[in-house]
Amino acid sequence: MAKISAKQVLWYIPNQIGYMRVFTATLSLFLMSKHPMWTTWIYGISCLLDALDGTMARKYNQTSSFGAVLDMVTDRSTTSSLICYLCVAYPKYAPLFQLLVSLDLSSHYMHMYATLTSGGASHKKIEKEQWLLHLYYSRRSALFTICAFNELFYLALYLYAFPQLWHFNLPLVGQTHVAGIIAVICLPGYVFKQVANVIQMKRAALLLAAKDAENANQKQT
């Protein structure tokens, strides 16, 4: 059986999908300030491809550490870039958006680093005692739904910054931006994602501290 080279891993089908995600996300950044509709479609394609790469990895048995890191880095970079624009669109709420970016980046970095340090095979393997994280990572439908709500919430805030789009009248409410409706619908899933980030960061901190304590005790013996 022929050996698999590093170059072949780089060109695994799911990793090619990852590169397409990077390209579409980057393209959306250049359109973001003046072309909200094109941005929404292209950014949305990048997010939808996120659900495809994992499926292809399992179908063709092409899972890889590089692919897992590429997927997570692309996720975090894409969302963070959109939030950067929201800081410009809503300068009053920039500190809140900055905190949310910091929470997202730090929780996922600590989570993956703690998993690798503790010898875990995947950052998605969560013990059942952590029921919320276990639900989030063990059920693909839950993971996809929560991530979709998270991205749609940010996209709704982005579209809300363009008042010329999609207004209609609602009884007892008056003139309403459709993006505001989308944001309200997605809010519960978005809040769930932020709570999961906090719990994830706490779990990672405990794993790292437990490993440090183990190493310190070994040195004393």
Residue 75 annotated to the active site: yes
Question: How far is Cα 14 from Cα 221, in angstroms, rounded to an integer?
Answer: 46
Per the residue annotation, which of 50, 53, 71, 75 is the catalytic one?
75
176 in Cβ contact with 170 (< 8 Å): yes
Nearest to 14 by CA among 77, 67, 51: 67
Other C-beta atoms closer than 10 Å to the C-beta of 103 total: 15
2 DSSP assignment:
P
Half-sphere exposure of residue 43, counting CA atoms within 13 Å on the CB side?
Answer: 27
Q: Give, in order, the Cα–Cα distances in Å from 156 to each of 36, 121, 159, 162.
A: 11, 36, 5, 10
| In contact, 153 and 186? CB cutoff 8 Å | yes
- CA 71 – CA 17 distance, rounded (Å): 10
The interaxial angle of helices 65-89 and 94-117, nearest 10 deg, is 170
CA-nearest of 19, 207, 10, 127 to 135 is 127
Active site residues: 75
